[in-house]
Amino acid sequence: MATDRISPTAHYTSYVWVRAGLSPPELGTPRGRRYHAALAPFDALFGPRVGAGLEQQLLLRHRAIDAEVERAIAGGARQVLEVAAGLSGRAIRLGERHPEVRFVEADLPDMAAQKRRLLASLPGRRVPDVVDVDALATDGPLSLSAVAAAQFDTGAPIVVITEGLLSYLPWPAVQSIWRRVASLPFPVVDYLSDVHLGDEVGQFAAVRAFISGLSLFARGQVYLHHANLAEAVEMARGCGFASADAPDARLLVGEPTRGGARVRVLRCKTTATRD
Ligand SMILES: C[S@@+](CC[C@H](N)C(=O)[O-])C[C@H]1O[C@@H](n2cnc3c(N)ncnc32)[C@H](O)[C@@H]1O
């Protein structure tokens, strides 16, 4: 399955991170600016109807995943692999804050090459290594297991992130990624991702309309894989994780929760307890 059709979405999210001061301006591309200008009117239209616009939700998801990476680092994690990292600035931001941690970003070869070029325009910054991966490859040098084993110490725990990838893939592809992440040969694998639930997101006509628009933008279907929270947790455990939960992102960043969650962070671990 070729999934490079998804790559343009990375320009949009990157522009959102830059606008919010979460990424260096050099990671904002002209393409990202154009996509942002094109989507902004729809976001302004649909956002107020569901309580928070796409941009706001993306920022919440990004900050909540940051908070969980910080938590893992505070708990001793020293290796972080961000799969489908796109043009995100997380590994620069957190890597500069935690020089003791090895951050590696991975993406499809074209996107990874583009990221390496952009990072080369940031002299003096501590930037992550960026490597080629195909999260859907079951074996070979681009597979998750080959990349993880080549880049990290397999004797120590690892944190693996996929942000903004899974909604663009059909369930069998997501399931195969989760299985491969859960079986990576590390003593502990801590896995973080955004996750979207049918009973929280799919109920809004405005959100369904927005998802249809996003499908056009991503040139392929956008999926809601889980009917509800219990199902998402059960599906993650069924893929080999010993523990899984998916808290409301607002809780993870210390914001008050009012109304149903729209953004959740899936937190899975290959050991039975999270801490
Ligand atoms: C919406 S972007 C998210 C980028 C980044 N995580 C962020 O939040 O800004 C989706 C990313 O998934 C990457 N991608 C698509 N298919 C992939 C695959 N099979 N393996 C690895 N990355 C993939 C795209 O190249 C793109 O960078």
Rounded to the nearest angstrom, the distance between the alpha carbon of 165 and the centre of ligand 1 is 5
Structure confidence at residue 5 (pLDDT): 79
Whether the model pTM is above 0.85: yes
For the segment 152-191, what is each residue's pLDDT rounded down to a tens digit?
A: 999 999 999 999 999 999 999 999 999 999 999 999 999 9
For the segment 44-99, what is each residue's pLDDT rounded down to a tens digit?
A: 887 777 777 889 999 999 999 999 999 999 999 999 999 999 999 999 999 999 99
For the segment 98-110, what is each residue's pLDDT rounded down to a tens digit?
A: 999 999 999 999 9
The percent of residues above 90 in pLDDT, for the chain, comes to 76
Q: How confident is the model at residue 238 (pLDDT cuts 50, 70, 90)?
A: very high
* 5-9, 37-41, 94-98, 118-122: range with lowest mean pLDDT: 5-9
CB distance 233 to ligand 1 below 6 Å: no
CB distance 163 to ligand 1 below 6 Å: yes
Pick the CATH number of 4-269 from 3.40.1280.10, 3.30.450.20, 3.40.50.150, 3.30.540.10: 3.40.50.150
Q: What is the mean pLDDT of the chain?
A: 92
CB distance 114 to ligand 1 below 6 Å: no
CB distance 28 to ligand 1 below 6 Å: no
Average pLDDT over residues 15-41: 95
- Report, in angstroms and rounded to the nearest whole number, the Rg of the chain calculated over CA atoms: 17
